[in-house]
């Protein structure tokens, strides 16, 4: 195909929309990546001839299944489960499982697509996948969670394996759920093998995996600030969410000398002008993980804090922002509010938390902006290291893992600079991450011929 015959971006996008009706999150994620890839492959005939972009925007397969379980009142409940195996060009499918009522095929396809580029950026041999269910874990007893997880794995087990597809946690899936699913896999298959990551330390889980995503997002933030001659020390920070990623991001911001002003959950956000210090973070972890409470309870415990029901924290003035809850939690107006209030840097702990309009506001105003596929890759990176530890039947110590996590985040920052720098040294992290993530996967696909 001559270069002049290449499909243009609009035709590509229209085709994508036609093939994926009713899947706005998936279209949004592909749209964001394809813009940069089009520029990159413009004069590179081999990618066009092999239709690499068209192939990378079609998941290898989408598996969907029924998950039936019995609640504590003996009602039979039916949920839908999925595993999206997006691309395994550079390693076994790898990515989390999300249990949340907002889970749809579109959400999981966007997450699996993003995961493919993120995993490539880590430098480890992992392809991209994602799965989950529209099951709502809120308010369920431990017994109900266990029965659901066992039923989910009873179907999922035939599609996964340590060299095939290795799921992990995400929203609504933490250590408890991973334990129930790993136990069920072991029972059905008769094999003790590293089929899931994020396991408990007693049975093959890695040191630092729970902390890795949040810590990694702050290391990435510190790398961006350092490149611009700045640091986290002495800065104020807005964080959304109060789960695994948010609480560990908060912990690392505090350790590096920053002051965390906000956290949130799906009911609203808390604002503590005195700063959310380590003691308060420990209290929140206990509230969320052990007592399964709501973030609003923070204000009953700590004087001076306020709860803002149904709102997000982005209108509070601060230097730094770390969205760590969910997708599209920063819309155009909220993105503009961050810019107007003088935010210096944004590092995404969540996947695709910023809308395309918000990203444009950050980029037009030269805010340092780390997209999730680069900034939150620390979690899956330590998952990759958990796979290595399981394969060699050894456990590495926390110091080695901590150093490796910092090195991986710094390497990702360097890769973004390699493909995203302009003449003045300003880094467009979206472009850098998209191109660096794409290139490794695309070159592996070229090597395999037409598959």
Distance CA 36, CA 19 (A): 21
Q: Is 241 among the residues that bind ligand NDP (CB under 6 A)?
A: yes
Work out what residue 197 binds among ligand NDP, ligand 2IT, none; the CB cut-off runs from 5 to 8 Å by kind: ligand 2IT
Neighbours of 275 (CB within 10 A): 14
From 245, 316, 318, 408, residue interacting with ligand NDP (rule: CB under 6 A): 245
417, 424 in Cβ contact below 8 A? no
From 150, 264, 351, 355, residue interacting with ligand 2IT (rule: CB under 6 A): 351
> Using CB under 6 A as the criterion, what x/- string covers residues 234-273 for binding ligand 2IT?
----------------------------------------
Q: Is 25 among the residues that bind ligand 2IT (CB under 6 A)?
A: no
Q: Is 265 among the residues that bind ligand NDP (CB under 6 A)?
A: yes
Angle at CA of residue 292, ends 286 and 296, nearest 5° = 85
Q: Which is nearer to ligand 2IT, 262 or 376 (CB)?
A: 376
> Using CB under 6 A as the criterion, what x/- string covers residues 109-148 for binding ligand NDP?
----------------------------------------
Q: Is 172 among the residues that bind ligand NDP (CB under 6 A)?
A: yes
Residue 53, H or E segment: helix 52-56
Binding piece for ligand NDP, criterion CB under 6 A, among 2-10, 260-268, 415-423, 429-437: 260-268
C-beta nearest to ligand 2IT: residue: 96
Work out what residue 245 binds among ligand 2IT, ligand NDP, none; the CB cut-off runs from 5 to 8 Å by kind: ligand NDP
Q: Per DSSP, what are the bridge partners of residue 124?
A: none
Q: Is 280 a catalytic residue?
A: no
- Ranges assigned E (strand) in 338-390: 345-347, 368-370
Neighbours of 443 (CB within 10 A): 14
Q: Is 322 among the residues that bind ligand NDP (CB under 6 A)?
A: no
- Picking from 172, 430, 136, the residue whose alpha carbon sits closest to that of residue 325 is 172
Query: What tokens were used for 248?
Result: 């560990």
Q: Characterize 110-146 residue by residue with b for buried, 16 or more Cβ atoms within 10 angstroms of its Cβ, and e for exposed.
A: bbbbbbbbbbbbbbbebbbbbbbbbbebeebeeebbb
Question: Would you name the residues annotated as active-site residues?
Answer: 130
Residues at the site binding ligand NDP, with contacts judged by CB under 6 A = 100, 102, 169-172, 174, 213, 241-246, 265-267, 324-326, 349-351, 376, 379
């Amino acid at each position: 195909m001559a270069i002049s015959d290449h499909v243009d971006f609009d035709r590509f996008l229209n085709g994508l929309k036609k093939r994926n009706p009713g899947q706005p999150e998936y279209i949004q994620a592909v749209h964001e990546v394809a813009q940069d890839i089009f520029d990159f492959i413009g004069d590179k005939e081999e990618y066009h001839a092999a239709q690499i972009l068209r192939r990378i925007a079609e998941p290898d397969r989408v598996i969907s299944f029924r998950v039936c379980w019995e609640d504590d009142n003996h009602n039979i409940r039916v949920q839908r489960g999925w595993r999206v195996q997006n691309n395994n060009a550079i390693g076994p499918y790898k990515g989390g499982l999300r249990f949340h009522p907002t889970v749809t095929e579109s959400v999981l396809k966007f997450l699996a697509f993003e995961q493919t580029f993120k995993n490539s950026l880590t430098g480890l041999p992992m392809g991209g996948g994602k799965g989950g269910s529209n099951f709502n874990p809120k308010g369920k007893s431990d017994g109900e969670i266990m029965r659901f997880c066992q039923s989910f794995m009873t179907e999922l087990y035939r599609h996964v394996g340590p060299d095939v597809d290795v799921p992990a946690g995400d929203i609504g899936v933490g250590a408890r759920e991973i334990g129930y699913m790993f136990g069920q896999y072991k029972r059905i298959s008769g094999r003790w093998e590293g089929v899931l990551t994020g396991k408990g330390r007693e049975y093959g889980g890695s040191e630092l995996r729970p902390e890795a995503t949040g810590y990694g997002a702050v290391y990435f933030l510190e790398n961006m600030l350092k490149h611009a001659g700045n640091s986290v020390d002495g800065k104020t920070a807005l964080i959304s969410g109060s789960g695994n990623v948010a609480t560990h991001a908060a912990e690392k911001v505090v350790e590096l000398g920053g002051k965390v002003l906000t956290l949130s959950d799906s009911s609203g956000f808390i604002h503590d002008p005195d700063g959310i210090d380590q003691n308060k973070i420990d209290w929140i972890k206990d509230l969320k993980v052990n007592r399964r409470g709501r973030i609003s309870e923070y204000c009953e415990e700590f004087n001076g804090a306020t709860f803002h029901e149904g709102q997000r924290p982005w209108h509070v003035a601060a230097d730094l922002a770390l969205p760590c809850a969910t997708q599209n939690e920063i819309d155009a107006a909220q993105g503009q509010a961050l810019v107007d209030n003088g935010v210096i840097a944004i590092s995404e702990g969540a996947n695709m938390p910023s809308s395309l309009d918000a990203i444009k506001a950050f980029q037009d105003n030269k805010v340092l902006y780390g997209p999730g596929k680069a900034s939150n890759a620390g979690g899956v990176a330590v998952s990759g290291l958990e796979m290595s530890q399981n394969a060699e039947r050894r456990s590495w110590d926390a110091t080695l893992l901590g150093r490796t996590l910092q090195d991986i985040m710094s390497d990702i920052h360097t890769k973004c600079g390699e493909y995203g720098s302009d003449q003045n040294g300003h880094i467009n992290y979206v472009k850098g991450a998209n191109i660096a993530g794409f290139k490794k996967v695309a070159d592996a696909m070229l090597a395999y011929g037409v598959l």
